[in-house]
Amino acid sequence: MRLKVCFIFSPAQHSSCTAFFRMEPTLRSLTLLLLLAISNAAIQAPSNCPWDDPELEKWSDHTTWPTGQIPQEDTEVFIPKGKKVVLDTQIPRLLHVTINGTLVWGNVDGIRMETSFLLVNGEFHIGSEECNFEKTADIFLYGKSNSVEVVPVFGRKFIGAASGSTLEIHGKQKKSWTKLVATLSPVRPGRCGLIYDSSVS
């Protein structure tokens, strides 16, 4: 498959540009199919968002934690196997986080997790393939080279997914397509043939 792209700025419209592709006919129909597939996907409402799982227990609820207290500053957080927790609130700086059960990032804007490491033996989800996380999430790893225990294989400062674990991070979709705004004329050798509207958002 050959694809040649050239960008030409038109003197009249500085903000827009026109791209010319020289493409095989098969590629042209492939592109159309791809555009159709993507627009169908966009029409479907998000479903199966990880934070909607009814089995989730809230981080902010003290009954979620074996100590009866939500994790305080500089404490170790451990989520045991079989437990599913949703991070639904701002949290203080933690010493470290180990997930043997499931941790789901809540659909809340601007949560910042500060920890020296985050070790996933079970499952950690921020959004999913069908339901992207569209807000801002921060994970800030801090600490000095001698600040906490060394975790074999991973070290001291890391986001680590152990073998057999699940780490899913799905953010906002970036646009990977554009819109055709004119009919394509048959492409002759040496001529370019695709016009798109760069202002499509």
Q: Which is nearer to ligand NAG, 98 or 128 (by Cβ)?
A: 98
Number of chain residues interacting with ligand NAG (CB under 6 A): 3
The nearest distance, CB 100 to ligand NAG, in angstroms, is: 4
Residues 127-186 that bind ligand NAG (CB under 6 A): 162
- Please report whether residue 116 would count as binding ligand NAG according to CB under 6 A: no
Q: Which is nearer to ligand NAG, 121 or 128 (by Cβ)?
A: 121
- Please report whether residue 102 would count as binding ligand NAG according to CB under 6 A: no
Q: Which is nearer to ligand NAG, 56 or 161 (by Cβ)?
A: 161
Residue reference for tokens 């957080």: 77
The nearest distance, CB 105 to ligand NAG, in angstroms, is: 20
Q: Could you tell me the two tokens for 107?
A: 């659909």
Cα gap 9→161, rounded to integer Å: 46
SS3 per residue for the chain = CCCEEEEEECCCCCCCEEEEEECCHHHHHHHHHHHHHHHHHHHCCCCCCHHHCCCCEECCCHHHCCCCCCCCCCCEEEECCCCEEEECCCCCCCCEEEECCEEEECCCCCEEEEECEEEECCEEEECCCCCCCCCCEEEEECCCCCCCCCECCCECCEEEECCCCEEEECCCCCCCCCCECCCCCCCCCCCCCCCECCCCC
Q: Which is nearer to ligand NAG, 66 or 186 (by Cβ)?
A: 66
Q: Which is nearer to ligand NAG, 19 or 162 (by Cβ)?
A: 162
Cα gap 102→121, rounded to integer Å: 9
The nearest distance, CB 37 to ligand NAG, in angstroms, is: 39
Q: Which is nearer to ligand NAG, 57 or 76 (by Cβ)?
A: 76
- Please report whether residue 100 would count as binding ligand NAG according to CB under 6 A: yes
For ligand NAG, the binding residue among 18, 121, 124, 137 (CB under 6 A) is: 121
The nearest distance, CB 66 to ligand NAG, in angstroms, is: 12
| Contact positions vs ligand NAG (CB under 6 A) | 100, 121, 162
